[in-house]
Chain A
Amino acid sequence: DGGITQSPKYLFRKEGQNVTLSCEQNLNHDAMYWYRQDPGQGLRLIYYSQIVNDFQKGDIAEGYSVSREKKESFPLTVTSAQKNPTAFYLCASSMDRDLEQYFGPGTRLTVT
C-alpha cells in the first residue's frame, strides 16, 4: 500500500527546544517537500529536495533544517530559531518537480 506517512500526528514542545518531524514515502518519488499551513493562508514552502543528498530552501526556510540521506525519507527539524513554530506541517512528494504532489496526513506542532 503506497503512500506518505508523517509522524507524529500531534507534537507538543516547550519553547527553546528543537523538534524533528518525520516524513517517509514508499512511492519511489524523487522529489519531496515540506510545507507549513496556517489558518487562512495558502501552503508555504519550507524546503524541497529533488534527489538524495540535495535540498533547496523554499520561501520560509529560516529556523528550519532538513536532510535527505535516503530517497524514502525527508525529516524536518524545527529549531529554536523559528520564531513562530506552532502550525500544521505537511510533507509531500512527486515523481518529478513539475508533476502533481501527493501529501501526507500532516503533523500539528504546538510550541508553548
Chain B
Amino acid sequence: EDQVTQSPEALRLQEGESSSLNCSYTVSGLRGLFWYRQDPGKGPEFLFTLYSAGEEKEKERLKATLTKKESFLHITAPKPEDSATYLCAVLSNFNKFYFGSGTKLNVKP
C-alpha cells in the first residue's frame, strides 16, 4: 500500500538544539518529494522539492535530503520562530500525491 509516514509526531527542542525530522515512503515510483511548513490555522507553505536520491536542498536553518526510501529535514540551531508543523508529500509515478500527517515542532527559547 502506498503511504507516507512522518516521525516523530511531535518534537520539542531547546533553541539551538539541532535535530532531524523523518519522512519515509512506500509508493509506486517516486516522481518528487515535497516539504511544507504549516503554522496553526494557516495553509502549508512550500519549502523544498527533491527529485532523486542523493539530492539536497537548503534554506536558512533547514536542509532536506533524500534517499531511496526516506527524506530527512535537518534543522540546525533552531529558533522559536521555526516552531510549526512540517509536512512531507510524495508524488508517485501515477501522478498521485500522498501527504504525511506531519511532525509538530516546538522550539523553546
**Residues in chain A within 8 A of chain B (CB atoms):** 4, 6, 35, 40-45, 90, 92, 97-106, 108
Contact = CB atoms under 8 A, between A and B. Distances in A.
B91 interface: yes
A96 B25 CA distance: 23
Given A103-B43, A103-B45, A105-B43, A42 B101 contact: yes
21 contacts: A35-B99, A40-B101, A41-B101, A42-B101, A42-B102, A43-B44, A43-B99, A90-B44, A92-B43, A97-B95, A98-B31, A98-B32, A98-B95, A99-B32, A100-B32, A100-B34, A100-B49, A101-B34, A103-B36, A104-B43, A108-B41
A106 B43 contact: yes
Nearest to A6: B43
Contacts of A100: 32, 34, 46, 49
A108 B40 CA distance: 12
B43 A90 contact: yes
A45 B97 contact: yes
B66 interface: no
A103 B46 CA distance: 8
B98 to A, nearest CB: 7
Contacts of A101: 34, 46, 89, 97
Nearest to B46: A100
A107 to B, nearest CB: 10
Contacts, number: 49
- What's the interface size class on B, roughly? 20 to 34
A72 to B, nearest CB: 17
Contacts of A102: 46
Contacts of B4: 42
Interface in B73-96: 87, 89, 91, 95
Contacts of B101: 40-42
A92 B36 CA distance: 13
B72 to A, nearest CB: 18
Given A42-B102, A43-B87, A106 B97 contact: no
Residue in B36, B44, B89, B98 whose Cβ sees the most chain A Cβ within 10 Å: B44
